[in-house]
Amino acid sequence: MPLSLNQFLLLVLTIAAVVVAVFLVRFLAQLRGAAEEGEKTMVGVRKLVENLNELDGMVKDRLVSLGELMEASKRTAVNLSEASFFLTSRVLRPSSKFWPVVFPLASFFWKQFRKRKEKKHGG
C-alpha cells in the first residue's frame, strides 16, 4: 500500500509534532525542577541574609565598644604620660641630689624591718 504525497507529508508532520511535544514536555519538566531548586536556594539565601544582618549588627556594636575602649586607652596613656612627666620633672630630678643619702638609709631600715619580722615569726 503505497502512500500518497499528502499522506507521507502528514505522517512526517505528525512525527515531527510528536518529537516537538516530547521535547517540550521534557523541557518543561526540567524547568519545573530548576524552579523548585531556585525556590529552595532563595529560602537559603534569605536565611543567610538574615544571619548576615545579625552579624553586621553585632560587629557594629563591637566596633562601637572597641572605639570607646580605644578612647579610654588614649586618655589613660595621656594621664600616665602627664604623671610620669610630673614625677620626673617635679619629684625625681629635684630629689636626685638626696638619693645618695636616702638610698643607703632606706636599705638599712628595710634590713632592720626584715630582721624584726623574722624574729616575730620564729625565724
Cβ partners under 8 Å of residue 95, min gap 6:
102
Is the pLDDT at 91 greater than 90? The verdict is no
pLDDT at residue 94 is higher than 80 = no
Closest CA to 95 of 106, 81, 109: 106
Mean pLDDT on 43-55: 96
Whether 99 shows a pLDDT value over 90: the answer reads no
- CA separation for the pair 40, 34 (Å, rounded): 10
End-to-end CA distance of the chain: 133
pLDDT of residue 123: 54
11-47, pLDDT tens digit by residue?
Answer: 999 999 999 999 999 999 999 999 999 999 999 999 9
Q: Supply the pLDDT for residue 55.
A: 96
Domain count, the chain: 1
User: What domain range is 56 assigned to?
Assistant: 5-120
Q: Strand, coil or helix: what is 92?
A: helix
Phi, psi of 50 (to 5 degrees): -60, -45
The answer on pLDDT for 76 being more than 80 is yes
pTM of the model: 0.46
Give the list of residues 6+ apart from residue 102 with CB closer than 8 angstroms, or none: 95
